[in-house]
């Protein structure tokens, strides 16, 4: 088997879990009032259907939380152990969309937003394609920007002049983001779902 054939053989195309897709579609249909029954005994059937969205929603949320915790744990574990960096580099490039995603023979990406799963995650987290208000998501902006700025500052190789130039130019942007985020006010509540692990 040639190298090209080996690469093609190893290709895998990931899709959302069918149970999650189906659950969200059914929840949407239910909320839009499209689920109904005209059959005899429909009232009983409708009563059961009304309970179904709640269970589907919880099942879907549990899957999403577990998958997200697994991703975060994986990334933090690799970050904390230098000997794993090179081993997982190619996989992480695939995950974040750095490597070229030739999807010409695959179904299109959801609404063709981007081949990069990472940029789609950030974009969807902020509801950047929605015309509705951002709500609590606006409070994520200073977090994202703050981490990006700190990451650049922490990199070795930045001399004092570079840091000064960077600092002067970024301070205005940081201030603007913080002022923008300050428009959102919400009373914090106790989280019901939390990450249940720590990295040592």
| Residue 135 is assigned to a structural domain of this protein | yes
| Residue 172 is assigned to a structural domain of this protein | yes
| Residue 113 is assigned to a structural domain of this protein | no
Interhelix angle 42-80/82-96, nearest 10 degrees: 140
Region of 198 please: left (phi>0), alpha (psi -120 to 50) or beta: beta
Interhelix angle 117-125/82-96, nearest 10 degrees: 70
Question: How many folded domains does the chain comprise?
Answer: 2
Tell me the C-alpha to C-alpha distance, in Å, between residue 15 and each of 18, 96, 117.
Answer: 8, 15, 12
Whole domain around residue 37: which residue ranges? 19-66
* pLDDT value of position 101: 65
Q: Please, are residues 158 and 30 in contact by the beta-carbon 8 Å criterion?
A: no
* pLDDT value of position 104: 57
* pLDDT value of position 37: 45
| Residue 162 is assigned to a structural domain of this protein | yes
Last residue of a domain, one of 29, 51, 66: 66
Helices (H), the chain: 3-10, 18-31, 42-80, 82-96, 117-125, 140-154, 160-181
Distance in angstroms (rounded) separating the CA atoms of residues 95 and 88? 10
Per-residue confidence in pLDDT tens, the chain, 200 aa: 454 445 555 677 778 888 888 888 888 887 777 545 444 445 544 544 555 557 777 888 888 999 999 999 999 999 999 999 999 999 999 888 888 766 555 555 566 667 778 888 998 888 888 877 778 888 888 888 888 888 877 776 667 777 777 777 777 788 888 888 887 777 777 877 777 766 55
Last residue of a domain, one of 50, 66, 82: 66
| Residue 72 is assigned to a structural domain of this protein | no
* pLDDT value of position 103: 58
Distance in angstroms (rounded) separating the CA atoms of residues 48 and 42? 10
| Residue 31 is assigned to a structural domain of this protein | yes
Please count the other Cβ atoms lying within 10 Å of the Cβ belonging to residue 127.
Answer: 14
The model's pTM: 0.71
Q: What is the CA angle 21-19-190, rounded to 5?
A: 80
| Residue 27 is assigned to a structural domain of this protein | yes
Q: Can you say how many angstroms the Cα of residue 95 is from the centroid of all Cα atoms in its chain?
A: 11
| Residue 106 is assigned to a structural domain of this protein | no
* pLDDT value of position 90: 92
């Amino acid at each position: 088997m040639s190298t090209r054939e080996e690469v093609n053989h190893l290709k895998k195309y990931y899709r959302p879990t069918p149970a999650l897709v189906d659950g969200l579609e059914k929840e949407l249909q239910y909320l839009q009032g499209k689920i109904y029954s005209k059959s005899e005994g429909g009232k009983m059937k409708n009563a059961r259907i009304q309970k179904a969205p709640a269970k589907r929603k919880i099942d879907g949320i549990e899957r999403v939380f577990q998958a997200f915790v697994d991703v975060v744990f994986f990334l933090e574990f690799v970050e904390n152990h230098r000997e794993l960096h090179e081993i997982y580099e190619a996989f992480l490039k695939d995950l974040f969309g750095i490597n070229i995603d030739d999807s010409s023979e695959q179904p299109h990406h959801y609404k063709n937003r981007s081949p990069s799963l990472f940029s789609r995650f950030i974009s969807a987290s902020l509801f950047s394609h929605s015309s509705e208000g951002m709500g609590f998501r606006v409070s994520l902006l200073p977090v994202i920007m703050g981490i990006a700025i700190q990451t650049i500052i922490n990199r070795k190789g930045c001399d004092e002049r570079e840091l000064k130039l960077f600092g002067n130019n970024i301070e205005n942007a940081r201030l603007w983001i913080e002022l923008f985020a300050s428009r959102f006010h919400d009373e914090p509540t106790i989280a019901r779902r939390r990450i249940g692990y720590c990295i040592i």
